[in-house]
Amino acid sequence: MLTHIDDRNQPSMVDVSAKSASKRTARAQSIVYLPEPVRNALADGDIDSPKGPVFQTAIIAGVMAAKRTHELIPFCHPLGLENCKIRITVDDRERAVIDCTVSVQHKTGVEMEALTGASIAALTVYDMCKALSHDIVILDTRLLEKRGGKSDYTTENGDP
């Protein structure tokens, strides 16, 4: 059953007024392939570009986006996020791994906020590095886990 369709088969925001507030957390990940020219610019855990430090800027952009998810995705409830952390590492497979964890005490979950934060951070890495190479690929964005609400979720899939 789709949650954003009402009894008249029309798009609708989910009514959370009867739900109890509880701690909700979600963790999402985006993976970005970094081609050789981009990897060659990597030093001390970040990439210095004419636009500034890439990963630090991507972290800021991702947090800003997570906080504004309701403005980007129809029917997402506006939430005053209590925590949003983004971590970016480079793995041994030449990829930037962007991990976004979001939490709030509320009546609705924060999966979309975590996914939005990870996605926008990945797009920021692409934007800031495209002068080095257009062969950057955003490979994967997915929810890794959520806690709180009706059910918890943890991905059973391995690393893509």
Q: Which residues are catalytic?
A: 127
Work out the angle at residue 43's Cα, subtended by the Cα atoms of residues 38 and 48, and round it to the nearest 5 degrees: 65
Whether the Cβ atoms of residue 84 and residue 60 lie closer than 8 Å to each other: no
Question: Could you give the CA distance from residue 32 to residue 115 in angstroms, rounded to a whole number?
Answer: 14
CA 129 to chain CA mean position, Å: 19
Output DSSP code: residue 6.
Answer: -
Question: Could you give the CA distance from residue 28 to residue 45 in angstroms, rounded to a whole number?
Answer: 21
Hey, what's the torsion of the CAs at 135, 136, 140, 144, to 10 degrees? 160
What is the C-alpha end-to-end distance of the chain, expressed in Å?
A: 28
Q: Which of 49, 86, 51, 50 is nearest to 66 (CA)?
A: 86
